[in-house]
Chains A and B, each alone.
Chain A
Amino acid sequence: MSSILTAGIVAPNFTLRVTPDQMLTLSDLRGKPVILAFYPADWSPVCGDQVTLYNELLPEFHKHNAEILGISVDGVWCHAAFARDRNLHFPLLADFEPKGAVAKKYGAYRDSEGVCERALFVLDRQGTIAWSYCSPVAVNPGADGILDALEQLSDQANVHGQLENADQ
């Protein structure tokens, strides 16, 4: 298993294709917590369960004002077909050309197989990694770690909010 970027590191910025004619830049999401879910491949059974679970949890993520981005080395047309089949309501980004370049920046690329690790990152509102986790590739990591991390970020934001109010 490669060693992925850990908490406290500023998340490397990137621009990736999200649909055949749309790009998405990470820094455009500044101000919101962001969940990056790297996964090996569209269509493989474990990924299927994992993205299905995150899809069901979108309302919970949105309660924290968080956005989730799925990332694999699959191309945009593959992502489009996969998203349609699974009724996904969040973006899947194509780390396709140069292959795996973004995953490599996060330490989440498996050279031996040429796919992303099953790695999760939760970024805070300023784009710093608040939590990260790399799961064995055949194991669906679930969502409990993501939700714990988002709750901590919300708690911190509330404390800061209260402090700011107290200053006034």
Chain B
Amino acid sequence: MANLKTPINKSDHIRGPAHAAISLVEYGDYQCPFCASACAVVDQLESYFEGKMRFVFRHFPLTEVHPYAEVAAESAEFAGTAGVFWEMHDALFRNQAILSVPTIMLIAEKLRLPETMMRLALETGQFRSKVRNDFMGGVRSGVNGTPTFFINGVRHEGPFDFASLASAIQSRLAADSHA
């Protein structure tokens, strides 16, 4: 029940070396406060395990409680087509307290994304199925809330502060090297 059912693939947003010993996958929501604090933790983990870890972010927007989660996720996908997914991702979390459509458009402007095309993509739901696929893949892997982390395909149970995640990663590395 606690294994990642959708392997890391071409449609994923991946940061870090392709053959890293550690793959950390997060299912997250740009309007979830716990995900925003986890964002800083992921940065810390990436520095701590530098060169040994890759990070994948997948969308898990809970749209009925977070009205901007879906538009934020689709905007990140649009940014991805221009090669600035992670810049958008980080900026969305940094500005979570004031997240709104105007805030998102302002971030897009700073990233020099073409406004008309972005509005069109959002209006026509160009990335809705990509976001939904992420979400449903998460559900099938037993994701029940955000953030949910998978370390080398195994769900991380427990808190998501730096110390807990770092030690879970160390244990997983040890377990995998004995496997």
Contacts and interface: CB of A to CB of B under 8 A. Distances in A.
A56 B64 contact: yes
Interface in A37-58: 49-50, 52-53, 55-57
B79 interface: no
A148 to B, nearest CB: 8
A51 B150 CA distance: 23
Interface in A97-154: 140-145, 147
Contacts of B65: 52, 86-87
A140 B65 CA distance: 17
Interface string B137-160: 001111111000000000000000
Interface in B26-40: none
B1 interface: yes
B139 A143 contact: yes
Contacts of B136: 60
Interface residues of A, number: 19
B55 interface: no
Contacts of A53: 62, 139, 144-145
B63 interface: yes
Contact of B141 (A56, A87, A144): A144
A86 B139 CA distance: 19
Chain B contact residues: helix, strand, loop or mixed: loop
Contacts of A145: 1
Nearest to B1: A144
B78 interface: no
A49 B145 contact: yes
Contacts of A50: 144
Nearest to A60: B136
A87 B135 CA distance: 19
Interface residues of B, number: 14
A60 B62 CA distance: 14
A50 B64 CA distance: 13
Given A60-B136, A147-B139, A142 B64 contact: no
Contact of B64 (A86, A140, A143, A144): A86
Contacts of B145: 49, 52-53, 140
Interface in B101-152: 135-136, 139-145
A141 B64 contact: no
A87 B64 contact: yes
A147 B140 contact: yes
A54 B64 CA distance: 11
A144 B135 CA distance: 12
A55 B64 contact: yes
A83 B64 CA distance: 11
B63 A141 contact: no
Interface in A55-88: 55-57, 60, 86-88
Given A49-B145, A56-B63, A144-B139, 7 more contacts: A52-B62, A57-B139, A87-B64, A88-B64, A142-B1, A144-B141, A144-B142
17 contacts: A49-B145, A50-B144, A52-B65, A52-B145, A53-B62, A53-B144, A55-B64, A56-B62, A86-B64, A140-B144, A142-B1, A142-B144, A143-B144, A144-B139, A144-B140, A144-B141, A147-B139
Interface of A: 49-50, 52-53, 55-57, 60, 86-89, 140-145, 147
